[in-house]
Structure 1
Amino acid sequence: MECAFCTDGIDHCHGTLVVHPDGGFAECTDPGCADLDRIRHGLIIDCHAVDPGCGCVPHGSLGPALRRAS
């Protein structure tokens, strides 16, 4: 099985973008990711959804953990 984005030459990342609630900080699970733009990531999660969780927000203070990138 091949990635359709790779086959079509579309710029994208196979990692998951982890977004922190401060509004400006994000990181990617792919160590080779060079651009943290949301449009390049097929999966975006809030940091509190990462096991064992991120300490930057109190547990349960944010809404749904998963959302698809637009």
Structure 2
Amino acid sequence: MSMECAFCTDGIDHCHGTLVVHPDGGFAECTDPDCADLARVRHGLIIDCQTVDPACACGAAVVTEAVLRQAS
């Protein structure tokens, strides 16, 4: 008995990769190098770039700006 992706079986357009979203302007990238469309609706797993190890530097800059604004 083999397992199959229900979306593949039903012919639904989707991606098996993880969409990594960056806070600076909504930029996103996918872990699947063959991903054709970065739309959120196509991805079953969406994470913030700060959860990637090592964490993305773009999120640190956004957090630092927010902290500095609050301190002012």
What range is the shorter-chain TM-score in? Answer: 0.7 to 0.9
Structure 2 stretches of 5 or more lacking a match? Answer: 64-72
Aligned-residue CA RMSD in angstroms?
Answer: 1.4
Among 16, 21, 27, the alignment partner of 1:14 is 16
Q: Over alpha carbons, which structure has the higher Rg?
A: 2
Residue 26 of structure 2 aligns to a residue whose secondary structure is coil
Determine if the alignment matches structure 1 residue 47 to structure 2 residue 49.
Answer: yes
- Percent identity between matched residues is 82
Ranges in structure 1 where 5+ consecutive residues have no aligned partner = 62-70
Which stretches of structure 1, 4 residues or longer, exceed 4 Å deviation after superposition?
A: none
Instruction: Tell me the CA shift for residue 24 of structure 1.
Output: 2.6
Displacement of 1:22: 1.4
Name the one with the larger strand percent: 1
Q: TM-score, normalised by structure 1?
A: 0.80
CA offset at residue 23 of structure 1?
Answer: 3.0
Normalised to the residue count of structure 2, the TM-score between the two structures is 0.78
More helix by share: 2
2: distance between equivalents of 1:23 and 1:46? Answer: 13
Partners of 2:17 and 2:45 within 8 A in 1: yes
